[in-house]
Amino acid sequence: MLSTYLIAPSLNSLFITGLLLLLILVIIITNLKEITRLAPLKKVALLSILTIAIGVHGLIHLGVEKEYNFNPYKWI
């Protein structure tokens, strides 16, 4: 079922950004001590970049749900 969806570039980008966000989360968790020692301005910059990445991923979800009626919550 999933292989029929992964032919569209927007779905591929959704999948790739999801994997990258998961990788970022793992890196943040494994380096939490170093992140807590960052200067406040660097923490804000890191949080801003993470927020942009999550927002872009959400926008891709919106487009994919509208165009292909693709909702992963239906799999649960």
**Amino acid letter, residue 52:** I
pLDDT higher than threshold 70 for residue 2: no
28-59 pLDDT tens trace:
999 999 999 999 999 999 999 999 999 999 89
Residue boundaries of the structural domains of the chain? 32-69
pLDDT higher than threshold 80 for residue 75: no
pLDDT of residue 5: 59
Q: Helix or strand or coil: residue 64?
A: helix
pLDDT higher than threshold 60 for residue 1: no
Report pTM.
0.75
